[in-house]
Structure 1
Amino acid sequence: MAKARTRTTVASIARRIKEGRGAGHFAEYKPWLTIHDVPSTGVVTRVLGWKSGRLHHYLSEHFELAHHYQMEWSEEVVDIREQFPLLPIEKTLFIAQKLGIRHPIDPNTKHPIVMTVDMVLTVKNGEDVSFIAHSIKPISKLNRRTLEKMQIEKQFLKEMGVEWFLITEQQINYDLVKNVEWLHSAKTLSSLGHVNKDLVNEMQPNLFNALRQSDTPLAKVTLALDKQYALPKGTCIQIVKHLIANRYWVIDMKQRVSSTLNPLIIKENNFPVGGI
């Protein structure tokens, strides 16, 4: 049986606020809406964040997840908070009235819903920390009603001192997105099973030299090294992913990596001399 969307009432809003929804940073943050709050027929995704150390909940198509991967790779972005609530609700109601726009309501209860912005990013530039909001929508879905609701979002955030941006497919580099997705599970050694620091330290120079001297596809080189060093199949490519994910090796992330078709071009090797 399909799961019904949670109904909006005064009590349900109060309950979510009491639960700490929309509060906190990093691992402590709780999004206003999670995948448990939407119908199961929708396309939803959970992904463990590099920066936050928690599961992120994305409720729409792959579009929000694609932008999440871009923001994971950005060195300026230090935290990502999705489904950020615009509270108190009285403020969005006032802004909607001032702009002459209908405030979103729950179609079942007719109660005004708590509006959310897709992402609020914590951005660090030197010692300066600021917040930026992103609404993420494909151009095909920017109809009149969606744009009206975005006006409320933008005004609310402006009054909070938070800059707001619209993200469409024109702002998404899908080569970068696919590369981060490819690397994502290899960021931490704890996710790589038998791969530990000692093995990474031992294999890094062997991998670097083999790849630098080869014009054959990445997968072929790593499989050969797995065999040469009697490692379980797939070990060396996981180490390569870990090295790139942690920026020990610098590659052109805006150029799609094809491990079975192309050699890996390493632009810089920043691996610590004493190992990790």
Structure 2
Amino acid sequence: MPVLKYEQTTKKIAKLIKEGYGQGEGKDYRPFIDTIRVSSRGRVSRIKGYSGRVHHFLSDSETRLFYIYEFAGKEDIREHYPLLEGMEEIIPNLDEELLKRLVNQKTGEPLILTTTFLITEKDEKGELRYFARSVKDYRQLENKQVIERYEIMKKYWEGRGVDYGIITNKEIPLMVAKNIEFIHPFFHLEEYGIGDEMQVFLKNRLVNMIGNSETRQINEILSMFDSEFNIEQGTGIAIYKHLLSRKILSVNMNEAISFNQPCNSVQILTKAEVGDNASNYKYVNQI
């Protein structure tokens, strides 16, 4: 849903802005649309990101693209970003049909458009740059109103020097997103009661076991790992997922993650290799 439509009035918009919605950066950002205040035709999700902030999504496609952007290491992911600051600069350049998309035709009250994602990333020189993306079901691109709203957003972001585009559900690599969803909750091991010192020890041991096991299956090594340290069954799986989410270990993310794979199908990454790991989840830098 790229437009906030529920009983929108000038008074309510002012209240949301005063309360900080659509403002801030990083863990302090508050999306202009959240799953508590807004209903959706799609499946809503609230996902705790790596920064600790809870992100709000109104469809599976939004959620899946978030997983891909977060795993790719983007500096900041701001969802449902409102087109507020600088909007007055493009209004004089909009024709009558486009201006209609900024007003509720029944009540005459303003409508605030939102872009699904405003992404902050670092370029090769370490400098920050931004791009914005709207997510939509491909079938809705035939809707005139949808196209006109996106035309407004394109003008808005072009005026701010920010690359803008539309991503449909067909362009999101489903397997990659599902794999990231599978390992995403294990980014922070301390949430599973494993302290920092123990984490270092256990992670190093599991990496060594996998690296020295060649054709033995992953599930066999994880079972041996739990038995060796007499720890709760499943701890090895949690640490393995953590190592994947942290890109200490790497597998082909374009195929379903399997514990039946041989250990020699898992790559142990050096710090230098982590930056080149994009080959394991192709398309990420094109969407």
Scaled by the length of structure 1, what TM-score is found?
A: 0.85
Q: Following the alignment from structure 2 to structure 1, what is the Cα–Cα distance between the partners of residues 64 and 90? A: 28
Give the corresponding residue for 1:122.
Answer: 120
Q: Which amino acid aligns with 1:155?
A: K
Runs of 4+ in structure 1 deviating by more than 6 angstroms, as ranges, are none
Which secondary structure does the structure 1 equivalent of 2:132 belong to?
Answer: strand
Residue 241 (structure 2) pairs with residue 244 (structure 1): no
Q: Which amino acid aligns with 2:262?
A: P
Give the corresponding residue for 1:80.
Answer: 77
Give the corresponding residue for 2:22.
Answer: 22
After superposition, give the CA deviation of every residue in 1:49-80 in whole Å (9 maximum; x if it has no partner): 11x43111112x210000000100113x2000
Q: Following the alignment from structure 1 to structure 2, what is the Cα–Cα distance between the partners of residues 41 and 229? A: 48
Residue 156 (structure 2) pairs with residue 156 (structure 1): yes
Residue 50 (structure 2) pairs with residue 65 (structure 1): no
Change in CA separation of 1:233 and 1:108 when aligned onto 2, cut-off 3 Å: farther
Q: Which amino acid aligns with 1:24?
A: G
Which secondary structure does the structure 2 equivalent of 1:7 belong to?
Answer: coil
Q: Which amino acid aligns with 2:80?
A: Q
Query: How far 1:201 moved relative to its partner?
Result: 2.7
CA contact 1:95–1:152 (8 Å) conserved in 2: no
160-169 or 10-19: bigger deviation: 160-169
Q: Which amino acid aligns with 1:149?
A: R
Q: Which amino acid aligns with 2:199?
A: V
CA contact 2:98–2:148 (8 Å) conserved in 1: no
Give the corresponding residue for 2:270.
Answer: 270
Tell me how many residue pairs correspond in the alignment.
Answer: 262
Alignment of 1:65-214 (within 5 A): 65-75=63-73, 77-88=74-85, 90-91=88-89, 93-97=91-95, 100=98, 102-106=100-104, 109-125=107-123, 126-143=125-142, 144-193=144-193, 195-212=194-211, 213-214=213-214
Query: How far 1:98 moved relative to its partner?
Result: 6.2
Which secondary structure does the structure 2 equivalent of 1:35 belong to?
Answer: coil
Kindly report the root-mean-square deviation, in angstroms, between the aligned alpha carbons of the 2 structures. 2.4
Query: How far 1:20 moved relative to its partner?
Result: 1.4
Q: Following the alignment from structure 1 to structure 2, what is the Cα–Cα distance between the partners of residues 12 and 119? A: 23
CA contact 2:68–2:180 (8 Å) conserved in 1: yes
Change in CA separation of 1:169 and 1:216 when aligned onto 2, cut-off 3 Å: farther
Query: How far 1:154 moved relative to its partner?
Result: 0.5
Residue 224 (structure 2) pairs with residue 227 (structure 1): no
CA contact 2:91–2:99 (8 Å) conserved in 1: no
Query: How far 1:244 moved relative to its partner?
Result: 1.8
Which secondary structure does the structure 2 equivalent of 1:262 belong to?
Answer: coil
CA contact 2:183–2:244 (8 Å) conserved in 1: yes
Query: How far 1:240 moved relative to its partner?
Result: 1.2
Query: How far 1:177 moved relative to its partner?
Result: 1.0
Q: Which runs of 5+ in 2 are unaligned?
A: 272-287
Q: Which amino acid aligns with 2:171?
A: Q
Which secondary structure does the structure 1 equivalent of 2:95 belong to?
Answer: helix
Q: Following the alignment from structure 1 to structure 2, what is the Cα–Cα distance between the partners of residues 164 and 217? A: 44
Q: Percent identity?
A: 27
Q: Which runs of 5+ in 1 are unaligned?
A: 272-276
CA contact 2:140–2:146 (8 Å) conserved in 1: yes
Which secondary structure does the structure 1 equivalent of 2:68 belong to?
Answer: helix
Query: How far 1:160 moved relative to its partner?
Result: 1.1
Q: Following the alignment from structure 1 to structure 2, what is the Cα–Cα distance between the partners of residues 175 and 207? A: 26
Q: Following the alignment from structure 2 to structure 1, what is the Cα–Cα distance between the partners of residues 221 and 243? A: 16
Give the corresponding residue for 2:48.
Answer: 48
After superposition, give the CA deviation of every residue in 1:115-134 in whole Å (9 maximum; x if it has no partner): 00000001111232111000
148-157 or 120-129: bigger deviation: 120-129
6-15 or 139-148: bigger deviation: 139-148
Change in CA separation of 1:151 and 1:24 when aligned onto 2, cut-off 3 Å: same
Q: Following the alignment from structure 1 to structure 2, what is the Cα–Cα distance between the partners of residues 142 and 201? A: 49
After superposition, give the CA deviation of every residue in 1:209-235 in whole Å (9 maximum; x if it has no partner): 433415354333212321232110110
217-226 or 81-90: bigger deviation: 217-226
Q: Following the alignment from structure 2 to structure 1, what is the Cα–Cα distance between the partners of residues 99 and 262? A: 54
Scaled by the length of structure 2, what TM-score is found?
A: 0.82
After superposition, give the CA deviation of every residue in 1:133-163 in whole Å (9 maximum; x if it has no partner): 0011121221232112111101011111111
After superposition, give the CA deviation of every residue in 1:240-274 in whole Å (9 maximum; x if it has no partner): 11122122223333332122x43352222438xxx
